[in-house]
């Protein structure tokens, strides 16, 4: 057997994979920029303060360090161009 490299990642493997997240808002939508041009940045808030952690740590951070993204919805803004 020589195809060990193709073995499926288990959930545990997946949980150990590092993720990059925005230290400012907690988003995982980090845009990578070729090195030397600019820093990687958060697609949600534009911050370049990017941290690295595995998903379990990130989930803990979501509970403690950041406002839960899914719980707080932005207040709907009045749109003057929409016909009510
Ligand atoms: Zn952000």
Instruction: Read off the pLDDT of residues 14-51 as tens digits, 9 standing for 90 and up.
Output: 788 889 999 999 999 999 988 888 889 999 999 999 99
CA of 3 relative to ligand 1 center, distance in Å: 39
| d(CA 32, ligand 1 centre) in Å | 13
Count each helix (H run) and each strand (E run) in the chain, helices first.
2, 4
Among residues 83, 30, 35, 68, which one has the least CA distance to residue 52?
30
Calculate how far, in angstroms, residue 5's C-alpha sits from the geometric centre of ligand 1.
Answer: 34
Band (pLDDT 50/70/90 cuts) for residue 61 is confident
- pLDDT(53) > 70: yes
Q: Which residues of 61-71 are buried (b: 16+ CB within 10 A; e: fewer)?
A: ebeeebeeeee
For the chain, what is the mean pLDDT? 80
Q: State the Cα–Cα distance between residues 65 and 55, nearest whole angstrom.
A: 14
Q: What pLDDT shows up at residue 16?
A: 82
CA angle 49, 65, 59 (to 5 degrees): 95
Cα of 60 from ligand 1 centre, angstroms: 17
Contact 51, 23 (CB under 8 A): yes
The predicted pLDDT at position 45 comes to 95
Domain boundaries, given as residue ranges, for the chain: 13-64
How far does residue 47's CA lie from ligand 1's centre (Å)? 5
pTM over 0.75: no
């Amino acid at each position: 057997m020589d195809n060990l490299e193709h073995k499926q990642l288990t959930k545990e493997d997946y949980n150990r994979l590092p993720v990059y997240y925005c230290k400012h808002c907690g988003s995982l939508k980090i845009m990578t920029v070729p090195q030397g041009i600019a820093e990687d940045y958060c697609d949600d808030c534009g911050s370049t303060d990017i941290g690295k952690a595995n998903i379990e740590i990130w989930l803990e951070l979501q509970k403690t360090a950041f406002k839960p993204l899914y719980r707080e919805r932005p207040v709907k803004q009045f749109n003057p161009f929409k016909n009510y």
